[in-house]
């Protein structure tokens, strides 16, 4: 199978990536007294009383070693301390479905064995280990789990989750490409919206430009025109064009070699008078820029989240959305009804990547602040972490009506004027550097703009 040029560009990083993974696993297994570990891909699932189901998404810990396109259902990887990993793949002869391609490019790093069916694979897996070995099994539960080892030991998983937040050069390179994929889609989506397209039109333009089908998306696209933007995970794409377009909020990402980008942009419609909303958009961009500038190793993300609410209070006061001072709006918690979600989350093999609430590799917790329970990422920022920065300002009826009943210090005339716009979210993917950041999203938009 021919590789695309971008995949070939990653090969320079692969040896270092595999060496890093090997070191992490060797240390983790030794720390928790395991001789080895099985990483199981998992099985295909099917809808109720049906013979087809959702896209198969393999265990991300296996995908850290092997690009998902090469991981078939039931695949298993055996890791031992300071030993060459062994990959067991089922590649059956089947005229209904194509088998995953053989990962020949990984033969320098793994011993790869293929089997015609799951029974032959299982027999080989059982023969590969001895009864005296103490094994862990990281992945979905399987029928023969007792033979595979301790299923997902919490202490081992916490240790692995914590380390996975720091990305290798291979992972960062893949995420740059995933960012390019998403940026291409976003540019086309904006053009379609400004030309008068419906949510469905915008969604289809995104798919075409990013060259992804529905199954390839890292998450379902959020394409919200007008008041739909007030639903944080709005899941529909209406085919009817609105009588009057005011705004578009699109939250959509790209995926490359299993790694995700997660990008949100908000636009005012090209036609009509939207000066008040545009001023708010401009203020939110300054707000986000200040937050990105606040990223540095050693600072906790929870602290940056508090800064987000302090700055949001300034945006509300400066733009006349509250009738009190910024300090009072923050102290009274008014910002939470305008932005009820967290500032961001870790990003990588999973869109909401693991380990965000861990204080250390020992598994000690770093829970979100009591007043901000939805924050997914609280721990200290470290060099080569990648996460999102996504401040928002929304006009959510159910939350605002509660404040209206409470007589809160909100300028209801201004809120009522802006309610039809739904809200604003601006989301970039940020890599932490020793001094400053790499904004994967802004860099990607700059690169792909040259293609247009």
Q: Which domains does the chain have, with CATH numbers?
A: 5-152 (3.40.350.10), 169-449 (3.90.230.10)
pLDDT of 3: 52
How many residues are given for the chain? Answer: 452
199-210 vs 169-194: helix axis angle to the nearest 10?
Answer: 140
Q: In this predicted model, what pLDDT tens digit does every residue of 400-416 receive, in sequence order?
A: 999 999 999 999 999 99
Q: Is the pLDDT of residue 1 over 50?
A: no
- Is this structure's pTM higher than 0.85? yes
Cβ count within 10 A of residue 221: 24
pLDDT of 94: 86
pLDDT of 452: 62
Q: In this predicted model, what pLDDT tens digit does every residue of 299-354 receive, in sequence order?
A: 999 999 999 999 999 999 999 999 999 999 999 999 999 999 999 999 999 999 99
Mean pLDDT of 189-201: 98
What percentage of the chain has pLDDT greater than the value 70?
98
169-194 vs 5-31: helix axis angle to the nearest 10?
Answer: 130
Q: Is the pLDDT of residue 5 over 70?
A: no
Q: Is the pLDDT of residue 82 over 90?
A: no
Alpha carbon of residue 102 to chain centroid: 27
Q: In this predicted model, what pLDDT tens digit does every residue of 263-308 receive, in sequence order?
A: 999 999 999 999 999 999 999 999 999 999 999 999 999 999 999 9
Cβ count within 10 A of residue 173: 21
In terms of C-beta density within 10 A (0-12 exposed, 13-18 middle, 19 or more buried), how is residue 165 classed?
Answer: buried
Strands 423-425, 392-394: pairing kind = antiparallel
What percentage of the chain has pLDDT greater than the value 90?
91
Q: Is the pLDDT of residue 254 over 80?
A: yes
Q: Is the pLDDT of residue 96 over 90?
A: no
Q: Is the pLDDT of residue 380 over 90?
A: yes
The mean of the pLDDT values for the chain is 95
Q: Is the pLDDT of residue 107 over 50?
A: yes
Mean pLDDT of 91-120: 91
Q: In this predicted model, what pLDDT tens digit does every residue of 202-241 receive, in sequence order?
A: 999 999 999 999 999 999 999 999 999 999 999 999 999 9
Q: Is the pLDDT of residue 57 over 70?
A: yes
pLDDT of 97: 85
pLDDT of 7: 73
Mean pLDDT of 85-92: 95
Q: Is the pLDDT of residue 150 over 70?
A: yes
Q: Is the pLDDT of residue 2 over 60?
A: no
Cβ count within 10 A of residue 317: 21
Mean pLDDT of 442-450: 95
Which residue, among 214, 218, 292, 208, has the nearest Cα to 252 in the 3D structure?
218
Strands 36-40, 76-80: pairing kind = antiparallel
Alpha carbon of residue 11 to chain centroid: 23
């Amino acid at each position: 199978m021919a590789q695309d040029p971008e995949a070939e560009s990653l090969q320079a990083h692969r040896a270092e990536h595999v060496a890093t993974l090997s070191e992490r696993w060797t240390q983790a297994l030794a720390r928790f007294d395991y001789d080895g570990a099985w990483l199981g891909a998992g099985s295909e699932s099917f809808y109720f009383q049906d013979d087809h189901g959702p896209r198969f998404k393999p265990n991300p810990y296996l995908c850290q070693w092997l690009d998902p396109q090469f991981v078939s259902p039931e695949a298993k990887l055996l890791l031992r301390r300071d030993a060459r990993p062994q990959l067991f793949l089922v590649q059956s002869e089947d005229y209904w479905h194509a088998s995953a391609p053989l990962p020949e490019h990984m033969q320098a790093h793994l011993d790869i064995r293929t089997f015609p069916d799951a029974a032959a694979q299982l027999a080989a897996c059982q023969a590969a280990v001895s009864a005296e070995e103490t094994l862990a099994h990281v992945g979905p539960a399987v029928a023969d789990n007792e033979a595979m080892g301790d299923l997902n030991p919490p202490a081992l998983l916490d240790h692995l989750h914590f380390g996975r937040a720091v990305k290798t050069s291979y992972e960062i390179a893949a995420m740059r490409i995933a960012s390019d994929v998403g940026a291409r889609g976003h540019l086309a989506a904006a053009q379609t919206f400004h030309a008068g397209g419906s949510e469905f039109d915008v969604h289809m333009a995104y798919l075409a430009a990013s060259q992804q089908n529905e199954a390839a998306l890292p998450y379902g696209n959020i394409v919200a025109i007008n008041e739909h933007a007030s639903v944080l995970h709005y899941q529909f794409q209406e085919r009817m064009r609105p009588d009057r377009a005011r705004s578009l909020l699109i939250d959509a990402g790209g995926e490359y070699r299993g790694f995700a980008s997660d990008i949100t942009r908000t636009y005012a419609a090209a036609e009509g008078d939207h000066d008040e909303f545009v001023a708010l958009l401009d203020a939110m961009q300054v707000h986000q820029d200040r937050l990105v500038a606040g990223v540095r190793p050693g600072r906790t993300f929870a602290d940056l989240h508090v800064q987000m609410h302090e700055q949001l209070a300034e945006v509300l006061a400066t733009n006349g959305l509250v009738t009190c001072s910024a300090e009072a709006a923050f102290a009274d918690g008014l910002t939470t009804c305008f932005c009820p979600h967290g500032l961001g989350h870790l990003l990588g093999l999973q869109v909401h990547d693991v380990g965000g609430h861990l204080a250390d590799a020992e598994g000690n917790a770093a829970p979100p602040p009591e007043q901000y329970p939805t924050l997914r990422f609280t721990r200290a920022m470290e060099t080569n972490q990648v996460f999102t920065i996504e401040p928002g300002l929304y006009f959510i009826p159910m939350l605002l009506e509660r404040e209206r009943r409470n007589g809160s210090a909100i300028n209801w005339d201004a809120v009522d004027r802006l309610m039809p716009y739904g809200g604003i979210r601006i989301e970039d993917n940020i890599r932490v550097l020793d001094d400053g950041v790499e904004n994967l999203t802004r860099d990607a938009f700059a690169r792909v703009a040259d293609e247009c």
